[in-house]
Amino acid sequence: MERILVIGTNGQIGSELVEALTEKYGVDNVIAADIGPHSLYGAECYETLDVLDSNRVAQIIDGYGVTQVYQLAALLSVTGEQAPLKAWTLNMNGLLNILEIARERGQAGKPLRVFWPSSIAAFGPHTPTVDTPQLAVMDPTTIYGISKQAGERLCEYYFNKFDVDVRSIRYPGIISHKSPPGGGTTDYAIAIFHAAQRGERYDCYLGPETTLPMIYMPDAIRATIELMEAPADQIRIRSAYNVAGLSFNPRELAQAIKQYFPQFEISYQPDQRQAIADTWPHSLDDTYARADWGWHAGIGLQQLVEDMMANIKAPQCGLHHAA
Ligand X SMILES: NC(=O)c1ccc[n+]([C@@H]2O[C@H](COP(=O)([O-])OP(=O)(O)OC[C@H]3O[C@@H](n4cnc5c(N)ncnc54)[C@H](O)[C@@H]3O)[C@@H](O)[C@H]2O)c1
Catalytic residues, by residue number, are 144
Among residues 14 and 250, whose Cβ is nearest to ligand X?
A: 14
Kindly list the strands in the beta sheet with 68-71, ordered across the sheet, starting from the edge strand earlier in the chain. 46-48, 30-34, 4-7, 68-71, 113-115, 166-167
Which secondary structure element, helix H or strand E, spans residue 203, and what is its range?
strand 202-204
Nearer to ligand X by Cβ, of 29 and 118: the residue is: 118
235-239 CB contacts, 8 Å cutoff, 24+ apart = 235/167, 235/292, 235/293, 236/288, 236/292, 237/134, 237/288, 237/289, 237/292, 238/155, 238/156, 238/159, 238/160, 238/166, 238/167, 238/168, 239/118, 239/152, 239/153, 239/155, 239/156, 239/168
For ligand X, give the closer residue by CB, 42 or 199. 42
Q: In angstroms, what is the minimal distance from the CB of 129 to ligand X?
A: 17
From the CB of 313, what's the least distance to ligand X, in Å?
Answer: 21
β-pairing, 166-167 with 241-242? unpaired
| Closest residue to bound ligand X by CB | 11
CB of 319 vs ligand X, minimal distance in Å: 12
SS3 215: strand
Q: What is the length of the chain?
A: 323
Let me know: does 106 contact 168? Beta carbons within 8 Å.
Answer: no
Contact set with ligand X (CB under 6 A): 7-8, 10-14, 34-36, 49-52, 72-74, 76, 90, 117, 119, 171, 173-174, 182, 184, 186
Judge residue 305's burial from the number of C-beta atoms within 10 Å of its C-beta, 0-12 exposed, 13-18 middle, 19 or more buried.
Answer: buried
Task: State how beta strands 202-204 and 68-71 pair.
Answer: unpaired
Minimum distance of ligand X from residue 70's CB (angstroms)? 9
Amino acid type, 157: Y
Query: Which residue, 165 or 187, is less far from ligand X as judged by CB?
Result: 187
Nearer to ligand X (CB atom), residue 36 or residue 65: 36
Give min distance, CB of 141 to ligand X, in A.
Answer: 16
